[in-house]
Each structure stands twice: as structure tokens, then as C-alpha cells.
Amino acid sequence: AQSVTQLGSHVSVSEGALVLLRCNYSSSVPPYLFWYVQYPNQGLQLLLKYTTGATLVKGINGFEAEFKKSETSFHLTKPSAHMSDAAEYFCAVSGSPRGSYIPTFGRGTSLIVHP
Amino acid sequence: DTGVSQNPRHKITKRGQNVTFRCDPISEHNRLYWYRQTLGQGPEFLTYFQNEAQLEKSRLLSDRFSAERPKGSFSTLEIQRTEQGDSAMYLCASRPDRSSSYEQYFGPGTRLTVT
């Protein structure tokens, strides 16, 4: 079984401030972890992913995330928020003993950026 | 590369009517997935295909739902006797069969409103 918990349904930051979106996961097998972004009335776009290897992964638009196995976490950060970062962010875990690797998504965190 | 496309983008229907959605995956992507996303939630898995074979169905996929991928290319999702609870965004995603990261590519979604 696998699950994702995203702490905070809404995160509000000022433009230029640090962005931190939290994600904790549960998986019975070594997980693949993803962060997706969704703009209104659009599909999901991949920001970054962790599969194996380096635990700090860099993605698009200046985002990065660190896989911490001991904490079962995969938090998303960005040093300086832009107005264009305002969107819904989803963390997902994918890992299946049966090999289907169907992802389970968190409930999402809405990022609000104030001028 | 035209990406994953979905049609229609929006559908308004009356309760009790049947609706059908279409998804065209990225060419050469063997695997195709359907998700449902309700307001304030992450995508929830419905079903997936490997080529024309439907390999897994979620318990969310009631008897009123049916999905097909007859030639292993585009897929359709039909909902019979729609209910107000079916109102949601229906997302389609695809990925290559041989993918080391299991990353999925999402379409823009079809928003269904049942009145």
C-alpha cells in the first residue's frame, strides 16, 4: 500500500520569499516520488522526480526537492517565489510490488503568492 | 510532439444522460491511464491500459463506467446514466511501456458538469 500526505492545503508567501511545500509518503517498496503542478483548468505538469541516486533533485522553474528516507519525506522548495508560481501542487508516490507503478497523489497544496 | 489531447474539454449534461470522453495519448506511448479529480482533491486512479488490454480497474470505476482502447491508440471513457456525483475533471495520462522513471504525461482534462 502507498499513500501521500501533503501538510497544508494552502501556503501563502510573499513574492521573493522561500517556498516550502511539505510531502510525506508511505510505501511498502522503494518509492518513486514526483511533484506535479497544475494551473487552473489544465492538466498536471511534472516539476521533478526522484527515482534512484542523488537524493536532492532539481526540477523546472527553479524548484528542487530532497528525498529523506528516514523521514519518509519529499518536500518541495524554491528559494524565491514568483507570482507565476501561484498554482496547485501535487506530490505523488509510485511503487508497486506488482510492478504497475500506478501513482497515488496527495490532496494538493495551493500556493498563493502575494506581491 | 503534440502531447496528450482530450476531447471535449468541457461537457455539461443532464442527470441520467450518457457521456463519452476521448483521449489521444502521445504516439508510441503504450500505457494509458484515466483519473478522476474532484474539487480540492488530487487525481484518483480509475483504470489503465497497456496497448489495447485493460490491466487494472479501481473500485471507483462503477458498473456505469466503461473504458476502451480498441486499437491500442486512443481511448474512450463512457459514463452511463450520469449522476451529480460524477461531476469532476477526468484526466488522461500516458507513458512509454519501457520507462525507467514511470513518469506520466497528462492531458488537459475534460471537465464534466452533471445538472
pLDDT digits (tens, 9 = 90+) for B5-48: 999 999 999 999 999 999 999 998 999 999 999 988 999 999 99
| CA–CA min distance A16, chain B (Å) | 26
pLDDT in tens, B46-105: 999 999 999 989 888 889 999 999 988 999 999 999 999 999 999 999 998 776 667 899
Nearest by CB to residue B42, choosing from A42, A102, A107, is: A107
pLDDT in tens, A22-51: 999 998 888 899 999 999 888 899 999 998
Residues shown for chain A: 115
Residue whose C-alpha cell reads 519529499 in the numeric block? A74
Is pLDDT at A96 greater than 80 in this prediction? no
Which helix (DSSP H) or strand (DSSP E) does residue A3 occupy?
strand A2-7
Angstrom distance (rounded) from CA B33 to CA B61: 13
A35, A89 contact by CB (below 8 A): yes
Write down the pLDDT at residue A53.
Answer: 86
Mean of the per-residue pLDDT values of chain A? 92
Please provide residue B84's backbone torsions phi and psi, each rounded to the nearest 5 degrees.
-60, -30
Task: Give the B-side interface with A, CB within 8 Å.
Answer: 4, 33, 40-45, 48, 55-56, 91, 93, 100-109, 111
Nearest by CB to residue A100, choosing from B56, B91, B104, is: B56
The answer to whether the CB atoms of B108 and A94 lie below 8 A apart is: no
